[in-house]
Amino acid sequence: MIYQGSCHCGDVAFEAEGEIGPVVDCNCSYCSRKGTLLWFIARDKFRLKTSEDAITTYHFNKHVIDHQFCKRCGCQAFGFGVDPQGNKMTAINVRCVEGVDLDALKRIHYDGRSA
């Protein structure tokens, strides 16, 4: 299935291909403050539909994740990183995906605060 998503103001829009399975609910200092619920897919299953000029990047801690967010509204719809096997991944904030029933999703709690 192909899902559509965007930031709050719509300057950053994307589509993602796959099935939304369990989402990661991370308790690291960043994710807990932003309230993200993350769906991980291969980078080649993600397509940005708007200009990269609307996006800025934030790094913290080990600088291994490119936290991408809208320059205008500040919403973080996705980020880029690499999985433990070295594959390029996209972490999509499912709260920014259209038509997703958040209450129906299984959540995997990840202790990012201790990682």
- Give the 3-state secondary structure of residue 93: strand
User: Mean pLDDT over residues 59-66, rounded?
Assistant: 77
pLDDT in tens, 88-102: 999 999 999 999 999
Amino acid at 67: H
pLDDT in tens, 75-87: 999 999 998 899 9
User: Mean pLDDT over residues 101-106, rounded?
Assistant: 96
User: Mean pLDDT over residues 62-87, rounded?
Assistant: 91
How confident is residue 113, by pLDDT bands cut at 50, 70 and 90? confident
Question: Which residues in the chain belong to E strands, given as ranges?
Answer: 2-6, 13-17, 23-26, 38-42, 46-48, 55-58, 66-70, 78-82, 88-93, 107-110
The pLDDT of residue 72 is 97
All structural domains of the chain: 2-110 (2.170.150.70)
The pLDDT of residue 81 is 93
The pLDDT of residue 28 is 86
Q: Is the pLDDT of residue 115 over 90?
A: no
pLDDT in tens, 16-32: 999 999 999 999 888 88
The pLDDT of residue 85 is 94
